[in-house]
Amino acid sequence: MPAASPSAQSLSPGPVLPVHVAIIMDGNGRWAKQRGLPRIEGHRRGVETVRAITHAMRELGIRYLTLYAFSVENWNRPPDEVRALMGLLEYFLKRETRNLVKDRVRLLAIGRTQELPAVVRTQLEAAIQATAKFTDHTLVLALNYGARTEVVDAARAYAAAVAAGREKLNDGSWATFSRYLYTADIPDPDLIIRTSGETRVSNFLLLQGAYAEFIFSPVLWPDFTKTEFAAACAEFGRRERRYGLTSEQLKPVRAAAATK
């Protein structure tokens, strides 16, 4: 990994870093409305925040960053807004691929990406291919993503594998089934942040987030900064994740981890 830059030191989140941070980027529309601008202006500004937070991921040493960019439910928005969002996505992928390569960030996508417009798919596949060899940092875009859709897709693929004799039905453990989720090769999110003051999950990583810590920020996504991102990571470091155990049970586990 490259040596920490001065700005990385100033963003230092503390000792316990989340490996995987996932963000529900919310509030673009309200940001625009507050300024008397069309909603798409909020989405445009939101793209700039995506760039800034992707940089912060590298500076802080976060290995995985998942961004909820478009849900399966978002197709039901006014057609003009959906068109504009798809245009922005295409523009982002076209413009950002070079920077991702320069910064050695791998791009992945989760969701029914096969249902995205062909021009977006082409850019997405090109960006994924161009960054496939990088291993230190991964940016995951949730595109046409819905957790319930993901479970249905995984159950179908799992059933097909059982029918074809590639899986045994009796071996239906979580470890086996989770390999059929879109996130098969991605660790579970440790921290899920939602901006804009809403305190709901909106069909995002329902299974993978089973033991994630949640932070709800009142800041609208276009105004969300590296500093707020670092503060959320620091807050994560102060949380005790008990996984069903008691605090006392965890003491020896923590002590052993500290001596490693």
Q: Which sequence positions are flagged as catalytic?
A: 26, 74
CB of 26 to ligand IPE, least distance (A): 5
Per rule CB under 6 A, is residue 112 in the interface with ligand IPE? Answer: no
Q: Which residue, chain included where needed, has tokens 């470890």? A: 175
Per rule CB under 5 A, is residue 71 in the interface with Mg ion? Answer: no
How many Å apart are CA 49 and CA 52, to the nearest integer? 5
Burial class of 79 by CB neighbour count within 10 A (0 to 12, 13 to 18, 19+): exposed
Find the binder of ligand IPE among 11, 22, 25, 88 (CB under 6 A). 25
CA angle 104, 67, 236 (to 5 degrees): 90
Site string for ligand IPE, 60-99 (x = CB under 6 A): --------xxxx--x----------x--------------
Per rule CB under 6 A, is residue 24 in the interface with ligand IPE? Answer: yes
Q: Which stretch binds ligand IPE (CB under 6 A): 22-30, 52-60, 100-108, 161-169?
A: 22-30
Closest CA to 140 of 182, 102, 98: 182
CA angle 160, 161, 164 (to 5 degrees): 85
Which entry of ligand IPE, Mg ion, none binds 90, CB below 5 to 8 A by partner kind? none
CB of 47 to ligand IPE, least distance (A): 10
Per rule CB under 6 A, is residue 35 in the interface with ligand IPE? Answer: no
Per rule CB under 6 A, is residue 223 in the interface with ligand IPE? Answer: no
Using an 8 Å Cβ cutoff, are 123 and 88 in contact? no
Residues 10-49 that bind Mg ion (CB under 5 A): 26
Residues forming contacts to Mg ion in the complex (CB under 5 A) are 26
Residues forming contacts to ligand IPE in the complex (CB under 6 A) are 24-30, 68-71, 74, 85, 196, 198, 200, 202
